[in-house]
Amino acid sequence: MPNSPSDEATDDRYSALYDLAVIGAGCAGLAGAVAASERGLSVALLDAAGQIGGQFYRHPAPPLGAVRPQALHHDWSLFAGLRRRLEASDIVHLAGHHVWTVVREGEGEWAVHAVTAADGTGERPARVRARTVLLATGAYERHLPFPGWTLPGVVAAGGAQAMLKSGLVLPGRRVVVAGSGPLLLAVAASLSAAGARVPAVVEASGYTGYARRPGVLAANPHKLMEAVIHATGLVRRGVRLRTRSAVTQVHGTDRVEAVTVSRIDRDWRPLPGTGRRIACDALAVGHGLVPQVELATSLGCATRRTEDGTYALALDALQETSVRGLWAAGETGGIGGADLARTEGELAGIAVAARTRGRPELARGGRVRELQRRRDGMRDFADAMAAVHAPGSGWVHWLDDATDVCRCEEVSAGAIREALADYGARDARTVKLLTRAGMGWCQGRMCGAAVACLAAGAGAESAPASPERRPLAVPVPLGVLGSLEPSEPTATPTGPSGQPDAAGPDEPGRPVDGRTRPSTAGPCKPAD
Amino acid sequence: MPTRSSADLIVIGAGVVGAACAYYAARSGISVTVIDRGAVAGGTTGAGEGNLLVSDKEPGPELELALLSVRLWRELSDLLPPRIEYEAKGGLVVASDEASMAALRGFAARQERAGVKAEQATVDQLRDLEPHLAPDLAGGFHYPQDAQVQPALAAAHLLRAAGGQGSGGVRLRLGEEVIGVLTGANGEVRGVRTASGDVRAPYIVNAAGSWGGELARLAGVGLPVLPRRGFVLVTEPLPRVVRRKVYAADYVADVASGSAALQTSAVVEGTPSGPVLIGASRERVGFDRTLSVEALRRLAAQATRLFPVLAGVRAMRTYAGFRPYLPDHLPAIGPDPRVPGLLHACGHEGAGIGLAPATGLIVARVLSGGQLPLDIEPFRPHRFDAAG
Ligand SMILES: Cc1cc2nc3c(=O)[nH]c(=O)nc-3n(C[C@H](O)[C@H](O)[C@H](O)COP(=O)(O)OP(=O)(O)OC[C@H]3O[C@@H](n4cnc5c(N)ncnc54)[C@H](O)[C@@H]3O)c2cc1C
Ligand SMILES: Cc1cc2nc3c(=O)[nH]c(=O)nc-3n(C[C@H](O)[C@H](O)[C@H](O)COP(=O)(O)OP(=O)(O)OC[C@H]3O[C@@H](n4cnc5c(N)ncnc54)[C@H](O)[C@@H]3O)c2cc1C
């Protein structure tokens, strides 16, 4: 893995035309990069982070390395294996590279544009050219606001987990874990293993939903065992698991002092009179993850609605997106966990090798069939999980008009309701235009789901027709943009698919995105 | 198909132009139904920047429309809530060298004869007007009539205010696409067809922006509206480093150009909420949203050339919009003699926010038989027909 900072090497790293550029060095990207490299491809591996591992194998930065990261990861040996293979390879690892866009650069060639300050000389543009791209950018957390969620001491569940893994900091001493999804159990287990008291895990769904899909469960014993182990460990430590409940209010003046936990109905509507106060000094909340797909959607890649109302990339049997030459693996194709991400990454790496080396038989071998079988089983399980934990439409009843929904721009639920009822907004985009919700630092990653649900609740469109557009995946300094190499603008009046693009994938004013596969699931699961 | 309620006038399109038509028509006692297949301001209005400019316009019919419009926007700013973010902040056009300063002087002199206020600014005066401007510019002109609104909020509040006292009433039908124009025995307009039914009215206004050509086709007439793409860069929120609308003199040439190739000349301006807007590129590439790295590079390079302090500032987002563009760069406004009852109000290209009120007023006067505020002959919708 040559990434020595010598000047000449630096130039080479950006002038080469790689067979494959992998964006994201988490489970999926790592597995894809080594699989392709071991089949003879030249590979560049870009990641915004300084070290490999992504969200799952997040580990303390070297100065903090005193503790054994393995203690927080049961799959550590698998990661160590990928890391060894990466070190043994000639993959060019470009750490600290924030990719802001990928553009087509002629037939069968892509340019990956990043901002980097990795060599310590200030931010500058970096451009990597490759014949194919593997998008393995993972996911970010979904937030659903509720009264008090902006109080210090309220943290994101996955964020708390990440903090533990990378710096081993606890968000508090008595931490209530709430929201929905399998991540809650993992987070509670980590928190309590690290010494926090966890008085309750508050899960909005019931687990009974899983029982309705016995086939899926039987095919995924590993997943199931993981949950059971987490749950039994928690029970032993005195953690109470409350299902069909939600934190509907946070109390405290300067910081969290307690939360109110209410029972909710199947639609996530709070049942009056069921509120109970639980004292705590922190609240870790999570409502699942959202695939980070903006690099792909900017290129016109087709998406699919997942069972819990997010957008994931629509992929073929070999992990290729609808745009030829662009592959995806891991959470970008739908939330499914580290094991699935690794499996898909390897599959994609092999498929890219088969394509670029002109050896289709590589993609028909026993290993590919085995990986595909495992992937399909895990995807089924992931879909089942998403369906069980999909937010019910009643959660908006937790919100009073004063609750800020967009924290960056301080836009309240009341202002959003007004834009929908009185000003003619109908979807997240027009709410944004009329209220500024989603225009701040996080670019709607934080409030997007909530705004979409409020819009759906207002009876406008039942679901956003397409994922939000974010043509800049990360912020870019103007000085960096302005110092790019001049190039000829592509002035072909065609869409990304090469077809004349009569109306773009989500042309304003066009409610239906023809390229988005419709799904019956809303962002908020309708009452069934 | 069920026939539903009727009105005097149907406005197709709830962008800023449709909203202004509805506003002035309703205010003159006409009952209006506004139909849009999406949301209010969901089209190009939601992608525009809200510059109300006279400074970039050559003397001629468009400038007359713009001068009327800046007066109307000022009136509207007293009637509509402050949330539309109207600011009479003025524009500043700068020249980087003596040659372009000389050209600008000639341009400004012609504009002044047409009623534009333009004040030459020396290098020192430039610094007073905009302390962060690059030190090595040759000079510029200050245009105090240039102003700004937030386009989406302006459209929404025009529609809200349209239904006020003494109004003919406004009904909004959102999420309904017009798929046909209903006509009577003599070819006269009778209403429109949407997916959920027919809506009747003796008059319709085509305010469908960049899709105005399709709408005209539904009515059986030709109107060659084409999309002209533009990208805008939006920075992180900043304290006021840019006070006015500042742009380089070459912008004027870009606007008047009919070329399909990419042209950029960045207009840089601060907004009340903090972000600086840098826009906009112009190119004719159909409705293609694919990010143009080259367009962004040029916008960023030009903006940092004018304001070097912006180099360290982050672009948070960028978006593309499609200006409704007619071959002679003038909008189509007024009755279409080919189909009685059909009016057009579209094709305003990069100036639709600015030109909306004057357009709305003209439409209302045509319908109510009032006196026209200016000669609308240059905007006649059938001018592209061989006989027109
Ligand atoms: C906050 C959080 C906490 C989680 N905690 C757990 C847990 O406790 N247990 C569990 O089983 N699963 C957890 N998950 C899920 C688990 O992390 C994923 O299943 C797994 O990491 C998926 O691997 P991946 O390779 O698809 O994505 P990731 O591991 O997320 O890797 C994506 C990589 O892409 C990089 N990247 C993204 N965008 C860009 C860009 N524009 N430019 C450059 N690089 C970019 C990121 O830096 C990251 O390294 C968590 C997820 C999140 C988001
Ligand atoms: C990047 C950029 C920057 C700009 N900056 C400025 C600026 O600073 N100042 C300025 O004055 N102008 C600017 N403009 C131009 C301005 O945005 C447009 O001229 C203006 O918004 C046009 O408004 P409109 O109401 O005609 O069209 P739109 O806002 O597009 O409205 C048309 C509406 O018609 C609807 N519609 C279309 N067909 C149908 C149908 N069949 N049935 C139902 N509904 C239909 C659409 O859904 C849409 O909502 C800019 C444009 C761009 C792209």
**Alpha helices (H) in B257-319, listed in sequence order:** 293-306
* pLDDT over 70 at A13, yes or no: yes
Q: Which CATH number goes with the domain that contains B203?
A: 3.50.50.60
Which pLDDT score is estimated for B193? 97
Using CA coordinates, name the residue in chain B closest to A510: B38
Pairwise CB contact (< 8 Å): B318 & A471: yes
Q: What is the pLDDT of residue A235?
A: 73
Residue A451, pLDDT score: 87
| pLDDT tens readout for residues A182-194 | 889 889 988 988 8
Residue A5 confidence (pLDDT):
44
Q: Residue A504: pLDDT band by 50, 70, 90 thresholds?
A: very low
Check residue A509 and give its pLDDT. 31
Q: Is B67 a domain residue? A: no
Q: Is B195 on the interface with A (CB under 8 A)?
A: no
Check whether residue B122 and residue B237 sit in a common domain: yes
Q: Which atom of ligand 1 is nearest to the CA of A47?
A: 44
- Helix/strand/coil percent split, chain A, to 5: 35, 20, 45
Give me the pLDDT at residue A458, please: 60
Nearest CA to ligand 1 atom 20: A338
Per the structure, the complete domain to which residue B279 belongs is given by: 89-142+226-325
Determine the distance in angstroms separating the CA of B15 from the nearest CA of chain A, rounded to an integer: 10
Answer whether residue A229 shows pLDDT above 70. no
Q: Which of B275, B299, B325 lies at the terminal end of a domain, its last residue? A: B325
Main-chain phi, psi angles of B99, to 5 degrees: -60, -45
Please count the other Cβ atoms lying within 10 Å of the Cβ belonging to residue A281: 18
Superfamily of domain A17-140+290-364: FAD/NAD(P)-binding domain (3.50.50.60)
Q: Based on the domain organization, do B248 and B309 belong to the same domain?
A: yes
Split into its structural domains, chain B has a count of 2
Q: What share of chain B is helix, strand, coil (3-state, %, to 5)?
A: 35, 25, 40
Same domain, B219 and B367: yes
Considering only the beta carbons, identify the residue of A476, A501, A510 that sits closest to B38. Answer: A510
User: Domain boundary at B285, B305, B325, which?
Assistant: B325
- Is some CB atom of chain A closer than 8 A to the CB atom of B217? no
Note the pLDDT tens digit of each residue in A239-273. 888 999 999 999 999 999 999 999 999 999 999 99
Q: Alpha-carbon distance B11 to B205, whole Å? A: 5
The pLDDT, as a whole number, for residue B340 is 97
CA distance B28 to B127: 46
Q: Return the bridge partners of B275, or none.
A: B237
ipTM of the complex, rounded to two decimals: 0.89
Cβ of A489 within 8 Å of Cβ of B261? The answer is yes
Residue type at A183 in one-letter notation: L
Contact A487 B293 (CB under 8 A): yes
Q: What is the DSSP string of A37-98?
A: HHTT--EEEE-SSSSS-TTTT----GGGTTS-GGGG-TTHHHHHHHHHHHHHS--EEETTEE
User: Which of these three, B303, B325, B347, is where a domain ends?
Assistant: B325
- Same domain for B230 and B255? yes
Query: Considering the domain boundaries, does residue B361 fall inside one?
Result: yes
- Cβ of A380: how many Cβ atoms within 10 Å? 17
Q: CATH 1.10.10.1100 in chain A, residues? A: 393-482
B352 shares a domain with B307? no
B132 and B231 together in one domain: yes
Q: Name the segment(s) of chain A with CATH classification 3.50.50.60.
A: 17-140+290-364, 143-287
Q: What is the pLDDT of residue A469?
A: 76
B238: CATH? 3.30.9.10
How much is the pLDDT for A491? 42
Quote the ligand 2 centre to A511 CA distance (angstroms).
Answer: 16
Q: Give the pLDDT mean for A77-85.
A: 91
Together in a domain, B231 and B137: yes
CA of residue A168 to ligand 1 center, whole Å: 18
Residue B63 lies in a domain: no
* CA A63 centroid distance within chain: 28
Structural domain contains residue B246: yes
Closest Cα in chain B, distance from residue A18 (Å): 20
Q: Over the stretch B304-359, which tens digit does the pLDDT of each residue have?
A: 999 999 999 999 999 889 999 999 999 999 999 999 999 999 999 999 999 999 99
Homologous superfamily (CATH) for A143-287: FAD/NAD(P)-binding domain (3.50.50.60)
- pLDDT of A74 strictly over 70: no
Beta-carbon contacts of B63 under 8 Å, excluding residues fewer than 6 positions away, are: B54, B57, B111, B114, B116
Using left for φ > 0, alpha for ψ between -120 and 50, and beta otherwise, residue A244 falls in left
Q: How confident is the model at residue A492 (pLDDT cuts 50, 70, 90)?
A: very low
Residue B2 belongs to some domain of the structure = no
H-state helical runs in A305-459: 338-356, 366-389, 413-422, 428-435, 448-457
Q: How confident is the model at residue A450 (pLDDT cuts 50, 70, 90)?
A: confident
Tell me if B138 is assigned to some domain.
Answer: yes
Say yes or no: B198 and B169 in one domain: yes
* B217, part of any domain: yes
Does residue B178 sit in the same domain as residue B302? no
Residues of chain B predicted below pLDDT 70: 1-5, 251-264, 387-388
Residue B266 in any domain: the answer is yes
A456 has pLDDT over 60:
yes
Residues B238 and B130 in one domain: yes
Of the candidate CATH numbers 3.40.50.300, 3.40.50.150, 1.10.3720.10, 1.10.10.1100, the domain formed by A393-482 belongs to 1.10.10.1100
In tens, the pLDDT along A47-61 reads 999 999 888 777 655
Return mean pLDDT, chain A: 83
B132 and B191, same domain (yes or no): no
**Domain co-membership, B23 together with B131:** no
